């Protein structure tokens, strides 16, 4: 069975997503709160003659073990967002071209839109929700993006931050040129690039101090 | 996306067994009924576009421990098929002894994609021809006999070499250019056991059947590559010209490996990216340079030879002079390398 959620259910606090979900349900569209749907999901048998039958996959997300039955066609991105309620990971292009869906899988930055969830069996996944400390202290890279105003609309930001953390850990954030090259998989349509480079630089230095 | 049966392979033989039995005699074409999946960066994308519609997907990632090794010795370099692009890119021995390989990997895609994509899958990546990618257009490669929309269409990025009247889609990869330049071999396991073939024999020019891109059957699995050592591997380089500085496919590219005796060429290998339908070795250009002093004039002659027989189609004519300049630059930059 699924573990309880790390973050409070959407209805516990008033936010944009909770409001939109409630509004949609009120309009008769029948959207169920994603957090509720995920916990209520019961895994079904792994083997079946019908290829559309859900398959059980288990992995760890932000330190929490998850077991969930998924359609084999479901991307890891959709599974994180729609089934596990972790909507911090964003869907941009859904074709591996924009980087908004970047998450860490076993410590490596990958594109969750190009990953079938069934292929993440046994993986350790980190999303933007898993970066801050339990006491709410932000990851140095999150703080750096705030300090340098490294976004405008913010949609690409979770992917940028995860990509930046991995970029530093890979040792590919040595110079501004290297940061630009190794961050080229994360597009920012607001073109906050100079601020993003400055943020990665600060995040790199602070991560080194930690 | 159409439903598919998802299978996880626990061994290479198991992978082949799982892939066998589904139209075993059919060529591995766009609509193959069964597909191996490793990084998934190409297959997932094309499945979402409806270009690939496999009934069965065989996940070979559990074989990473067996097929994920990089081995470097006096005989050469061995790369397991499930080595990820980023792993080979970061390998110090490869950067030192086979820089052209490191170049082709580093200059491809993005770090996220290179973390995912396997080397075996990389060489089999499908063309980026927009008409192949969009199911609303005719495309002989995707739907045999439907016609080629690129011949008279938007073909600025299409191939000049190895084309046919049925297909002018360019081969998109970079790593394959290093492999073909360095006389790599590819090891394949399939229903009739394991076999080794020259990398240069893996891909097929489109000819009358653009849907058949390689000599592999649908249940054939690439297990690794062997790149023989040679005095030319350290002085080697990949020059890639793109529409933007990063994260873009080659408009033109050249892989060069040089063995010099002073300023004269003892041996040279040249491969061309972005301009041909398959990984492309420019042997005529190589022959012209062997035994000669390498200077700009000689490099220009070689570049002319490399593009002899090029067939421009409307918008891609600019690639002929640009491709020649790319070869000249790659040769001169490789010559200037400190090794």
Do the domain assignments include residue A66?
yes
Q: Is residue A102 located within the same domain as residue A152? A: no
Neighbours of B29 (CB within 10 A): 17
A73 at the B interface (CB within 8 A)? Answer: yes
Q: Is residue A74 located within the same domain as residue A50? A: yes
Total of domains in chain B: 2
Do the domain assignments include residue B40?
yes
> Cα separation of A34 and A11, whole Å?
11
pLDDT above 50 for A2? no
Chain B partners within 8 Å of A167 (Cβ)? 111
**Two tokens at A176?**
């501004």
- Report pTM: 0.90
Query: Which of A51, A71, A121 has the highest number of chain B CBs within 10 A, making it the mutation to test binding with B?
Result: A51
Of the three residues A96, A130, A164, the one that is the final residue of a domain is A130
Do the domain assignments include residue B160?
no
**Two tokens at B335?**
């010559």
Distant-in-sequence, close-in-space partners of A189: CB < 8 Å, separation ≥ 6: A153, A156
pLDDT above 70 for A3? no
Q: pLDDT value at position B288?
A: 98
Residue of A95, A110, A184 with shortest CB distance to B45: A95
Do the domain assignments include residue A83?
yes
Test A52 with B3 for CB contact under 8 angstroms: yes
> Cα separation of A89 and A81, whole Å?
7
Q: Is residue A58 located within the same domain as residue A115? A: yes
Lowest mean pLDDT among A5-14, A31-40, A61-70, A162-171: A31-40
Q: Say which DSSP state B244 is in.
A: S
Do the domain assignments include residue B99?
no
B186-239 residue pLDDT tens: 999 999 999 999 999 999 999 999 999 999 998 999 999 999 999 999 999 999
**CATH number of the domain encompassing residue A151:** 1.10.150.120
Domain span at residue A100 reads 42-130
For every residue of B54-76, DSSP letters joined together read -SEEEE-GGGHHHH--EEEETTE
pLDDT grade for A16, boundaries at 50, 70 and 90: low
Q: pLDDT value at position A50?
A: 77
Strands A124-126 and A55-61: parallel
Of the three residues A63, A95, A130, the one that is the final residue of a domain is A130
Do the domain assignments include residue B288?
yes
Q: Is residue A111 located within the same domain as residue A163? A: no
A123-138 residue pLDDT tens: 999 999 999 999 999 9
The edge-to-edge listing of strands for the beta sheet with B34-37 is: B5-8, B56-59, B34-37
Report, as an integer, the average pLDDT of A48-71: 91
Test B8 with A121 for CB contact under 8 angstroms: yes
**CATH number of the domain encompassing residue B288:** 3.30.390.50
Q: Is residue A121 located within the same domain as residue A149? A: no
Please tell me the distance in Å from A117's CA to the nearest CA on chain B.
11
B332-339 LR contacts (CB < 8 Å, sep 24+):
B332/B294, B332/B296, B332/B299, B333/B237, B333/B239, B334/B235, B334/B236, B334/B237, B334/B256, B334/B257, B334/B258, B335/B235, B335/B258, B335/B260, B335/B263, B335/B294, B337/B99, B337/B235, B337/B237, B339/B234, B339/B235
Q: Is residue A97 located within the same domain as residue A149? A: no
Query: Which of A75, A108, A180 has the highest number of chain B CBs within 10 A, making it the mutation to test binding with B?
Result: A108
Domain span at residue B40 reads 5-59
Do the domain assignments include residue B318?
yes
- Provide the percentage of residues in chain A whose pLDDT is more than 70: 77
Do the domain assignments include residue A85?
yes
* Neighbouring C-alpha atoms within 13 Å toward the C-beta of B128: 16
Chain A partners within 8 Å of B68 (Cβ)? none
Of the three residues A77, A112, A130, the one that is the final residue of a domain is A130
Do the domain assignments include residue B66?
no
Q: pLDDT value at position B220?
A: 95
Q: Is residue A106 located within the same domain as residue A184? A: no
Q: Is residue A98 located within the same domain as residue A116? A: yes
Q: pLDDT value at position B20?
A: 84
Residue of A51, A109, A184 with shortest CB distance to B115: A109
Q: Is residue A88 located within the same domain as residue A168? A: no
Do the domain assignments include residue A4?
no
**CATH number of the domain encompassing residue A97:** 3.10.20.30
Chain B partners within 8 Å of A163 (Cβ)? 111-112
Of the three residues B41, B59, B77, the one that is the final residue of a domain is B59
Do the domain assignments include residue B31?
yes
Of the three residues B24, B42, B59, the one that is the final residue of a domain is B59
Q: Is residue A126 located within the same domain as residue A54? A: yes
Residue of B3, B40, B247 with shortest CB distance to A119: B40
**CATH number of the domain encompassing residue B48:** 3.30.43
Which residues of chain B register pLDDT less than 70?
A: 21-31
Test B3 with A96 for CB contact under 8 angstroms: no
Please tell me the distance in Å from A65's CA to the nearest CA on chain B.
20
Q: Is residue A46 located within the same domain as residue A124? A: yes
Q: Is residue A126 located within the same domain as residue A144? A: no
CB-based burial of residue B275 (10 Å sphere; 0-12 exposed, 13-18 middle, 19+ buried)?
A: buried
pLDDT above 80 for A159? yes
Lowest mean pLDDT among A140-154, A187-201, B6-20: B6-20
Q: pLDDT value at position A32?
A: 34
Do the domain assignments include residue B26?
yes
Total of domains in chain A: 2
pLDDT grade for A7, boundaries at 50, 70 and 90: very low
3-state class of B225 per DSSP?
A: strand
A41 at the B interface (CB within 8 A)? Answer: no
């Amino acid at each position: 069975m699924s573990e309880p959620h790390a973050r409070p259910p959407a209805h516990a606090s008033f936010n944009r997503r909770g409001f939109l979900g409630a509004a949609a349900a009120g309009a008769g569209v029948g959207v169920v709160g994603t957090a509720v749907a995920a916990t209520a999901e019961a895994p079904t048998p792994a083997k079946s003659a019908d290829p559309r039958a859900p398959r059980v996959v288990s992995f760890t997300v932000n330190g929490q073990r998850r077991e969930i039955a998924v359609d084999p066609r479901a991307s890891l991105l959709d599974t994180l967002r729609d089934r596990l309620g972790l909507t911090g990971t964003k869907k941009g292009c859904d074709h591996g071209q924009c980087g908004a869906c970047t998450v860490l899988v076993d410590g490596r930055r990958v594109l969750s839109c190009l990953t079938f969830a069934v292929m993440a069996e046994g993986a350790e996944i980190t999303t933007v929700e898993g970066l801050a400390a339990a006491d709410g202290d932000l990851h140095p890279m999150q703080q750096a993006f705030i300090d340098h105003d490294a976004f405008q609309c913010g949609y690409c930001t979770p992917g940028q931050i995860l990509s930046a953390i991995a970029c530093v850990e890979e040792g590919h954030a040595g110079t501004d040129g290297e940061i630009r090259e190794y961050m080229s998989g994360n597009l920012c349509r607001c073109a906050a690039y100079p601020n993003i480079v400055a943020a990665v630089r600060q995040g790199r230095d602070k991560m080194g101090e930690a | 996306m159409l439903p598919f049966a998802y299978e996880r392979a626990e061994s290479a033989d198991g992978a082949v067994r799982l892939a066998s039995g589904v139209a075993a005699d059919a060529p591995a074409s766009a609509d193959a009924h069964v597909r191996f999946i490793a990084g998934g960066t190409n297959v997932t994308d094309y499945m979402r576009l409806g270009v690939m519609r496999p009934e069965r997907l065989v996940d070979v990632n559990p074989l990473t421990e067996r097929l994920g090794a990089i081995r470097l010795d006096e005989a050469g370099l061995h790369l397991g098929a499930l080595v990820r692009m980023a792993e080979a890119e970061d390998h110090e021995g490869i950067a030192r002894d086979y820089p052209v390989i490191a170049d082709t990997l580093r200059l491809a895609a993005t770090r996220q994609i290179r973390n995912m994509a396997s080397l075996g899958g990389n060489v089999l990546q499908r063309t980026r021809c927009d008409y192949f990618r969009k199911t609303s257009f005719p495309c002989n490669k995707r739907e045999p006999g439907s016609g080629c929309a690129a011949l008279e269409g938007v073909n600025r990025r299409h191939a000049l070499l190895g084309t046919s009247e049925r297909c002018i889609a360019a081969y998109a990869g970079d790593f394959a250019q290093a492999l073909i330049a360095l006389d790599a071999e590819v090891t394949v396991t399939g229903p009739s056991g394991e076999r080794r073939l020259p990398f240069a024999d893996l891909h097929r020019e489109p000819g009358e059947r653009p849907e058949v891109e390689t000599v592999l059957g649908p249940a054939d699995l690439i297990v690794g590559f062997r790149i023989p050592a040679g005095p030319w591997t350290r002085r080697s380089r990949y020059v890639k010209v793109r529409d933007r500085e990063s994260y873009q496919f080659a408009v033109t590219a050249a892989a060069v490996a040089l063995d010099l005796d002073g300023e004269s060429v003892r041996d040279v290998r040249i491969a061309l990216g972005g301009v041909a339908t398959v990984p492309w070795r420019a042997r005529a250009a190589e022959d012209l340079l062997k035994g000669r002093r390498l200077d700009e004039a000689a490099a220009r002659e070689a570049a002319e030879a490399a593009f002899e027989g090029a067939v421009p189609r409307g918008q891609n004519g600019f690639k002929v002079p640009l491709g020649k300049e790319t070869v000249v630059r790659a040769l001169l930059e490789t010559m200037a390398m400190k090794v």
